[in-house]
Homo-oligomer: A and B are copies of this chain.
Amino acid sequence: MSPQHRRRRIPDATVARLPVYLQLLNERMAAGVTNLSSEDIAALAAVNAAKVRKDLSYIGTYGTRGVGYDVEYLVYQISRELGLDHEWSVVIVGAGNLGQALGGYGGFNVRGYPVAGMFDIDETKVDTVVGGVRVKHLDDLPKVVAQQQVSIGVVATPAEAAQDAADRLVRAGVTSILNFASVVLSVPLGVTVRTVDLGVELQILSYHEQRRVAAATGLRPVADEAPSGRSA
């Protein structure tokens, strides 16, 4: 493909860690810390220091040898790289149990993802107010997405309705979807989907629990550790 000036592509694994660094840098900054070494950051993020340096090197060389990284500047650079220099409006589809928790969750606004609208098909849910946002009928989705320039949609419907919800979001113009339903969504190329499935998470945990039990039962001298989540 295009050889040279192709914008340094940041590896997926790194993209997934940058928000974690950002979070903890913000936290330290709030605590008055102005400088941190890769070693410090690594300790806080429970990862290898070399990994931290390599990750940060993808977005530029903002460290100072012998000193470390200026926290404020680094926060700025990571934020910019993640596209946090402006707000991204989101819409939430499904105003049930989870949808209401999400709508009432302050974190969206704080982090720069204002909730532009919540949608449901259940008439009893429509026009209720959740977290200061009035629930609208799903049919109003296209209008809101267009008017408010929404590019991120959250799917919080039952699994059976999730694909329909995703289809509507895509049709309305949304190009990123955060899906909480236990289904694999099918979307056209060019649309990014991330699924957060509680059941999957629990099953991954119970897999490890099960191994642990098997090991303890003395069947095998298993000794490995630190799987997918973080340990320390």
Q: Which residues of A contact B (CB under 8 A)?
A: 1-2, 5-7, 9-10, 12, 15-16, 18-20, 22-24, 27, 44-46, 81-84, 88, 90, 97-98, 100-102, 104-105, 107-108, 111, 113, 151-152, 175-178, 182-214, 217, 219-232
Residues of B within 8 A of A10 (CB): 207
Residues of B within 8 A of A6 (CB): 220-222
Q: Are A231 and B44 in contact (CB under 8 A)?
A: no
Residues of B within 8 A of A104 (CB): 97
Q: Are B226 and A189 in contact (CB under 8 A)?
A: yes
Q: Are A151 and B228 in contact (CB under 8 A)?
A: no
Q: Are A228 and B15 in contact (CB under 8 A)?
A: yes
Q: Are B220 and A7 in contact (CB under 8 A)?
A: yes
Q: Are A185 and B230 in contact (CB under 8 A)?
A: yes
